[in-house]
Chain A
Amino acid sequence: MSIVEFKNVVKRFGDNTVLDDISLGIDAHEVVVVVGPSGSGKSTFLRCINVLETIQEGDIVVNGLSVRGTPAQVRELRREAGMVFQQFNLFPQLTALENVMFGPLHTRGVSRRQAREEAVALLAKVGLEARMEHYPGQLSGGQQQRVAIARALAIKPRLMLFDEPTSALDPELRFEVLKVMQDVAEGGMTMVVVTHEMEFARRVGTRLLFMDGGKIAEDGLPAELLSNPPSQRLREFLRHVS
């Protein structure tokens, strides 16, 4: 039973078809790494899963809930899919701890004390127990992104979506974020990761999707696809990113 099921999905921005008849299933505990040239639709692919973009044709079912459901069903679906953004998008008026407590308090109706305990544990897990009372503006990019990962995990999602989580970071800060993501993956979380980090795809990914022109051009094991690209397009793409 797939946790995410794409059924003939078509997404258009005006006349521009961004996702062109995509069908695939993502199973629990898979770590799906999505790569592709810019404009290939990989971010849109991710954002359609938790309905930050609406699709024109087909259907996506996440944990038994359709993206075409009522607003209440869509909100329920979103709680099953934690999202990490390229630009972190932490709430600037709240401390790191309050950011992580925010989701459980306002979506799960958890008590303040329990939310706090869980948030402290999560921040410790991402190595930021010493920075709990800091505001996002006082944290480095890598630290902010780790808080964002803790915030997404706090609502106890069934899967995690990462939209280029390291693209806005300096090279030396990427490692700490990728390490946290690896820990999350090793904890058995289902993950869909849009990234340019081929090393991460090879080491942590269990499945690689290569997108090109709104279609899934390749779908297979990361190690095989990366060391032995079956198509000219993927070969060219890999030459440009590494």
Chain B
Amino acid sequence: MTIQITLLGLLGGTVIGFLSGVVTTYVKVPVSTRSVVIAAGALVALYALLRLGSWLADTYMAGVPAVAWSLLKLLVVVAAVWRFAAYLPKALSFLAQVYILIIRGTPIVVQVMFIYFALPLIAGWRIDAVMAAIFTLMINSGAYIAEIVRGALQSVPKGLKEAGEAMGLPFWKILAYIIGPVALRRMIPAMGNQCIISLKDSSLFIVIGVAELTRQGQEIIAANFRSVEIWGAVAVIYLILTGFIALTLKFVEHRTQIV
């Protein structure tokens, strides 16, 4: 269970982290009073639009066929995206920065408690404990991986980007074929850290009763009181798992080293 949670959590976290890392590196939006006010304004406008839509649906549009109504809504959405498309990267960068700020700024135990116990009260749906654990690890590691990715991308010499630009490559190709391969190698040590930290953090999901390694150790001890043997065994199992991660990444690092 520990392995499953860690693997899925890290997988999702890597995807979230790479997207957030790339967008925060290349779209610069300062988190300032001005940008916060604009973001709040955009949220209020969005909410007002949604309310307006549902109000219209209940009153004037009550008799209109559903197809026409959804078509109209689609038109409004397309028009809005069309109008504000130029701001989309900035909005995403801002969102990513707020996400990183919140997730890095709160303990993982609080995050998982919030998702497992508080979210059902707010949103009305509840997920089972394992899903909550995986989801928490995803968003938690994602925030840290975003910063790892940003650091690695920034460490790549600017000249390589210019060499790609001077060839007439579009930005995504420069990122995929030039900056990416160099940055990926530079991420390996920090990613090793994050994988090991996430694996060990999965032990904290004991607070929502997920049957991960630490919890299982505790349950066995509750039956036979053999603290020394069981906690020793639990520690050794963690050590084997983290050792495996460390060795794997060492191997990858060695194989992909740039001469």
Total inter-chain residue pairs, C-beta < 8 Å: 63
Asked whether, in the complex, the Cβ of B167 is within 8 Å of the Cβ of A155, the reply is yes
A57 at the interface (CB under 8 A from B): no
One digit per residue, 1 when the CB lies within 8 angstroms of any chain A CB and 0 when it does not, for chain B 147-171 equals 0000000000101101101111110
Contacts of A82 in B (CB 8 A): 166
When the two chains form the complex, which single residue of A52, A90, A92 contacts B165, counting CB atoms closer than 8 Å? A52
A107 at the interface (CB under 8 A from B): yes
Bound-complex Cα distance A138 to B57 (A): 69
A128 at the interface (CB under 8 A from B): no
A214 at the interface (CB under 8 A from B): no
Bound-complex Cα distance A25 to B118 (A): 69
Q: Which of A2-10, A33-41, A73-81 lies at the binding interface? A: A73-81
Q: Say which size band chain B's interface belongs to.
A: 10 to 19
When the two chains form the complex, which single residue of A50, A77, A89 contacts B160, counting CB atoms closer than 8 Å? A89
When the two chains form the complex, which single residue of A75, A135, A138, A152 contacts B169, counting CB atoms closer than 8 Å? A75
Contacts of A52 in B (CB 8 A): 162, 165-166
Q: A89-B157, A93-B258 are in contact. Are A78 and B167 (CB under 8 A)?
A: yes
Which of B159, B163, B170: most chain A Cβ within 10 A?
B163
Q: A52-B165, A93-B182 are in contact. Are A85 and B159 (CB under 8 A)?
A: yes
Majority-rule SS of A interface residues: mixed
Q: Which of B91-99, B135-143, B173-181 lies at the binding interface? A: B173-181
From residue 177 to 218 of chain B, which have CB atoms closer than 8 A to chain A? 177-178, 181-182, 185
A142 at the interface (CB under 8 A from B): no
| Closest beta carbon of chain A to B187's beta carbon, Å | 14
B259 at the interface (CB under 8 A from A): yes
Asked whether, in the complex, the Cβ of A83 is within 8 Å of the Cβ of B182, the reply is no
Contacts of B162 in A (CB 8 A): 52, 83, 85, 89
Q: A85-B159, A107-B168 are in contact. Are A91 and B259 (CB under 8 A)?
A: no
Q: Say which size band chain A's interface belongs to.
A: 20 to 34
Asked whether, in the complex, the Cβ of B258 is within 8 Å of the Cβ of A79, the reply is no
| Closest beta carbon of chain B to A88's beta carbon, Å | 8
Bound-complex Cα distance A60 to B167 (A): 18
| Closest beta carbon of chain B to A80's beta carbon, Å | 8
Bound-complex Cα distance A93 to B182 (A): 7
Bound-complex Cα distance A135 to B178 (A): 15
Bound-complex Cα distance A240 to B93 (A): 49
From residue 237 to 259 of chain B, which have CB atoms closer than 8 A to chain A? 258-259
Bound-complex Cα distance A152 to B166 (A): 9
Asked whether, in the complex, the Cβ of A106 is within 8 Å of the Cβ of B258, the reply is no
A206 at the interface (CB under 8 A from B): no
Asked whether, in the complex, the Cβ of B258 is within 8 Å of the Cβ of A83, the reply is no
Asked whether, in the complex, the Cβ of A76 is within 8 Å of the Cβ of B168, the reply is yes
Asked whether, in the complex, the Cβ of A135 is within 8 Å of the Cβ of B258, the reply is yes
When the two chains form the complex, which single residue of A50, A91, A138 contacts B166, counting CB atoms closer than 8 Å? A50
Output the nearest chain A residue to B158 by Cβ-Cβ distance: A89
| Closest beta carbon of chain A to B95's beta carbon, Å | 25
A137 at the interface (CB under 8 A from B): yes
A45 at the interface (CB under 8 A from B): no
Contacts of A103 in B (CB 8 A): 167
A87 at the interface (CB under 8 A from B): yes
For this complex, 28 residue pairs linking A to B, each with C-beta atoms less than 8 Å apart, are A50-B166, A52-B162, A71-B170, A75-B168, A75-B169, A75-B170, A78-B166, A78-B167, A79-B167, A79-B168, A82-B166, A83-B163, A83-B166, A85-B159, A87-B157, A87-B159, A89-B162, A89-B163, A91-B160, A91-B163, A92-B182, A92-B258, A93-B182, A102-B167, A103-B167, A155-B167, A155-B168, A161-B166
A-binding residues in B (CB < 8 A): 157, 159-160, 162-163, 165-170, 173, 177-178, 181-182, 185, 258-259
Q: Which A-B residue pairs are the 6 nearest by beta carbons? A: A78-B168, A83-B166, A89-B159, A79-B168, A89-B163, A75-B168
Known: A138-B259, A155-B167. 15 other contacts (CB 8 A): A50-B166, A51-B165, A75-B168, A77-B168, A78-B166, A85-B163, A87-B157, A89-B163, A90-B163, A92-B182, A92-B258, A93-B258, A103-B167, A106-B167, A106-B177
